[in-house]
Structure formats: structure tokens, C-alpha cells
Amino acid sequence: MTALWRNLTMGRMLAESGRGGSTPHEATGAMREAAGRENSRWGAYSWLAPKAEMQARHAGFPGPDGAGLPGSGPPGPLAGFACAVKANLAVEGWPCDCGSRLLQGYLSPYDATVVRRLRAAGCGFLGVAAMDEFGMGSSCEFSCHGPVRNPWRPDCTPGGSSGGGAAAVAAGLAWFALGSDTGGSVRLPAHCCGVVGFKPTYGRISRFGLTAYASSLDTVGILARSVGDAALVYQAIAGRDPHDATTAVVPVAPCPDGPPDRQWRVGVVRPGPAQALEPAAAANFTQSLGIAGKVFGKMKDVDSLIDEVDVGVYTILAFAEAASNLARFDGSLYGQRGRQAEGGRSFGRMVRAVRSAGFGPEVKRRILLGTHVLSTGYRARTYDRAQAARRRLIAAFAEGFSRCDLLILPTASGGAFPLGSRLADPAAMYATDRFTVPASLAGLPAVTIPTGLDDRGLPLSVQLVGPPWSEATLLAAAQALEAEFRFRERKEAPWNR
């Protein structure tokens, strides 16, 4: 029979513990043991924390004698729980390789703000979650650690780039995972693995300690077993951070508990002809809208908020920023320098050697494209036009939100795709993000919740998008919807096997 910790949300775990069941500390200990045994099946973690370190640094984690260490001060809201941390987030003394060969062996000397805040909330860390190199990918196949497998079907991808975290949560090997979402990198893996994926408003959660991919789009996101768990983590990590000048001073409203105080006006964003869903996904979306209608009342269609050109806009802007952000990886201060770079060569030759050997093919492709679009003579036709398109998109969303409180739309056009199936076609890979990039470009909060399974038995989902700073409402609405789908109870799910 399945262990309770594999299935329970953090909220239910606390309730069970209160009724005399095992404590979160004990459950986390068992989870760490299981991760050690099972991780190789999925490759969800690229590095697991030594148990001794968890005991030393995770206040309350059970020691060898089974007794918890005395914590200092009152236990935080996440005391006893532990999460997976995406490999692009800094944890002091831990590998922060971003899935890149170039950074293998690099240990971060400091904690990201979100990590520091989780520690303060009593939360521990199980290990480093695998990812597409520097967040560049939608399948977790572009990693120096090899591909991550989908716990629903090992021949399929878990989605990317936060696929390791999504797989860990789906396999029951983490209570939740910290990920990052630049164009859909939390929502797409959540969709593929049947878990909740939450991306906040840009500026809501500190990026300090998140290795930058595209700075104006990057957000720290949460992969969780339930909307409630995501809200719990969100409350612990959100808010202004003096180390990140782009965090907002807008107060973090508590997530409402219980039924909404008023009827939400929900707008439906239907895929256009160029964005057709796979048949099973289309059927599921129609069915999901029916269920959403029961929760939200009558919904109205909102037109032309997403466009196939958005992926192109995202590609230009994100790649331009990526080329800039990744310039620092030259092997001179940290990271793999490689033997070929030693021995009296010039700096230029060393940099070329390090980057040629250290970066994978997708990263190189994006750096080259990003360099191109900012180059003299090309910028006006590419980067500047993309910026203008982004401004128009933001305005269009603002106009849309004058007529409704939330938008509902698909997360992806189909369930998780087979490993290797899109590697040869970058454009198809980029188009995987067509439903997630609009919220990223507009900096809007979005949450993906699982709704059902496709004809291959792989999860499908819907995505809710809200106006800036509407996280509390968004999460409350997602929770109401989640209660109708009861996806967590599905017998086929990896956490129930």
C-alpha cells in the first residue's frame, strides 16, 4: 500500500499528524530514504542532500535516533517539510549547475532569498532538481545530467524546464518544488506531470539567487501537490526583497480560505485556428470549461488575447536577455575551465574554448540568436519590434482585465510528448510554450491545475491567469476549481500507485 506521505498534501499531513499520525519530520525522513532508492528511475534530482546535512541544517529533521533536533524559536508554518530546489537557485554550499556542464562542480556560496525565507519558515531541502540547461527547454532533455522521465510514463518528458521538480512532486519524492518560470517553465512541467504549477506576478517573489535566463521575464515559481500547498509556500516566500530592485512593495494579501465573497467574472481564451489542441486535449478543455462554469457561473469568451506571434516575441526578447545574462560564464572566476584552456592562451581563446565545450546545443542556439537580434543593423527590425509587441500585449491584457477578473485557457496543446520527439525541431519545441508565454510577457500571475488524462493516460490541465498582484484571488479560484476535478484522488497517479 502506498505510504501516506507520498499522497498527502502538506495541509492534510498536518491534520493527520494532529490526529496522532506520523509527523511531517518523520514523513520527510521516509521521503528522503525513498528518493535515494527511486530517484534513478526518474532522474528528478540531479543531486540529493546527504542525510547528515539535512539533519544538521533542517531544524527538527529526525536524527539517527529518530528524535527531532530542537528547533530555535517557534516552528514555522512549513516546519518538518522539505522541498526540491531547481538547479538554478542558490543554496549555500550546494551545487548550482543550472543543468550545464559549464557549471558542474560550482557550489553556491550564498542562499537565494526564497531559500532563506523557506528556512525561516522551518522548511528543509531534499536536493537539487534537474532542469533544462539554464532553463532553456520544454522537455528536460537539454541537461548535462541526461533527460528526466515523466513519472506517469517513463518514455515521455516531464516538460521543462522545471521538469525535475515536477517529476519529484509527481513521484511523491518532494512535498513541493521551487522552480522558475520564464515562458512557462513551471506551468508546462506541472501540466505534463499532473501537479499544480504557480507563477506569480513579475516582481512578487524575489529573484535574488535565481540564475538569470531572461531577467525581465524570470519568476520563481512553485510546483505543488495542491493549490493550498502552493499558497502556503507562496505566503512564505513572496514580498519585497531589498536584494532584488524589481520586487514590488505591493503587500502580499493572505489567500482566502473558503468560498469566495463574490462571483468572479471569468473570461475564456479559446485557442485560435493556428493553436489547435490535440483532440483529447480539446475534449478535456471543453469539459473543463463546463466544470468551471459550475464553479464560476456564466463565462464569456475573450478574443485575441493570445496570438501565435507571441512565441516569436518571447523568443527574441528572452534570447536577447539570455545572451547578455550568460556572458558571465567564461570559466575565469568559477565553473569548468577545462584543461584545453590552460597554458598561456589568450583570454579570448580561453573563453571560446570554455563556452564551446561547456554549453549545450540549445543554449548555444539561443545565445547566437540573442546576440544577433541586439546587433547593430538588426536590432530595429527584431528586438525593438518585439518590445513594441510586448507593450501592445500588456495593454491588451489590461483591457481584457477591465472586463473580467480571471482568464481561463489551456496550458499546452496536448499531454506530455515522448522523449526525443521534438529535439530535431526547435520551432516545434518553442511552440510548446504558446499558451504560457503570454502571461510571462505581460508579467501576470498564472496557475496551472490538472484536470484529467489524455488518451495516452497523460495529464492535462487548465491555466488561470489574473491581473497583476491578484495572486490571492487567483489561488482561491484555482482551489475552488481543483475541488471539482479531484485529480489528486486518481488511482493511476504515480503518487497513488
Contact residues for other proteins, defined by CB under 8 A: 88-90, 96, 98, 103, 106, 108-110, 112, 207-212, 215-216, 242-246, 320-321, 323-324, 327-328, 330, 332-334, 344, 347-348, 351, 371, 374-376, 379, 383
d(CA 190, CA 223): 7
Strand partners, 221: 179
CB of 260 to other proteins, least distance (A): 34
Q: In angstroms, give the least distance from the CB of 377 to other proteins.
A: 9
Closer to other proteins by CB, 40 or 376: give it: 376
Nearest residue (CB) to other proteins, 48 versus 374? 374
Q: What are the Cα distances from residue 312, in Å, to 20, 308, 369, 380, 390?
A: 54, 8, 12, 15, 11
For residue 375, the minimal CB distance to other proteins (Å) is 6
Smallest gap, in angstroms, from Cβ of residue 358 to other proteins? 13
Q: Work out the burial of residue 110: count CB atoms within 10 Å of its CB; fewer than 13 is exposed, 13-18 middle, 19 or more buried.
A: middle
Catalytic-residue membership of 161: yes
Task: Return d(Cα 120, Cα 231) in angstroms, integer.
Answer: 17
Radius of gyration of the chain, Cα coordinates, nearest whole angstrom: 21
**Smallest gap from residue 216 Cβ to other proteins (A):** 4
Q: How far is the CB of 343 from other proteins (least distance, A)?
A: 9
* 92/484 with CB nearer other proteins: 92
**Nearest to 338, CA basis, from 100, 102, 134:** 102
90 or 472: CB nearest other proteins: 90
First CA to last CA across the chain, in angstroms? 8
Q: Which helix (H) or strand (E) holds 274?
A: none
- CB pairs under 8 A, 24+ apart, for 168-171? 168/35, 168/42, 168/44, 168/45, 168/84, 168/126, 168/129, 169/84, 169/193, 169/195, 169/223, 169/224, 169/225, 170/194, 170/195, 170/493, 170/494, 170/495, 171/38, 171/41, 171/42, 171/44, 171/494, 171/495
Residue number with CB closer to other proteins (204 or 207): 207
425/430 Cα distance (integer angstroms): 9
Please, what is the minimum distance in Å from the beta carbon of residue 328 to other proteins?
4
List the one residue out of 487, 478, 443 whose CA is nearest residue 255.
478
Q: Tell me the closest approach of the beta carbon of residue 322 to other proteins, in angstroms.
A: 12
List, in order, residues 6 or more apart from 199 with CB less than 8 Å away. Answer: 181, 186, 187, 219, 221, 439, 440, 445, 446, 447
Is 324 annotated in the active site? no
Determine the length of the chain.
Answer: 497
Nearer CB in complex with other proteins: 17/371: 371
CA distance 436 to 13: 31
Nearer to other proteins, 153 or 355 (CB): 355
Find the shortest distance in angstroms from Cβ 388 to other proteins: 14
Q: Residues 138, 143, 185, 440: which is the catalytic one?
A: 185
Q: Is the peptide bond before 161 cis (omega within 30 degrees of 0)?
A: yes
Q: Which residue has the cell 530542537?
A: 70
Locate 484 and state its grid cell: 471539482
User: Residue 41 or 243: which CB sits closer to other proteins?
Assistant: 243
Q: Which of these is catalytic: 100, 108, 161, 162?
A: 161
Q: 156 or 210: whose CB is closer to other proteins?
A: 210
Sheet with 266-268: strands ordered across: 45-48, 124-129, 82-86, 176-181, 219-224, 196-199, 446-453, 459-465, 406-410, 266-268, 300-301
Angle at alpha carbon of residue 33, lines to 32 and 37, rounded to 5°: 115
Min dist. Cβ of residue 79 to other proteins (A): 26
- 10-18 vs 24-42: helix axis angle to the nearest 10? 140
Question: Cβ contacts of residue 378 below 8 Å, gap of 6+?
Answer: 372
* Candidates 46, 86, 180, 226; catalytic one: 86
Closer residue to other proteins (CB): 92 or 278: 92
| Catalytic residue flag (residue 185) | yes
Q: Strands 219-224, 176-181: parallel, antiparallel or unpaired by DSSP?
A: antiparallel
Residues annotated as catalytic are 86, 161, 185
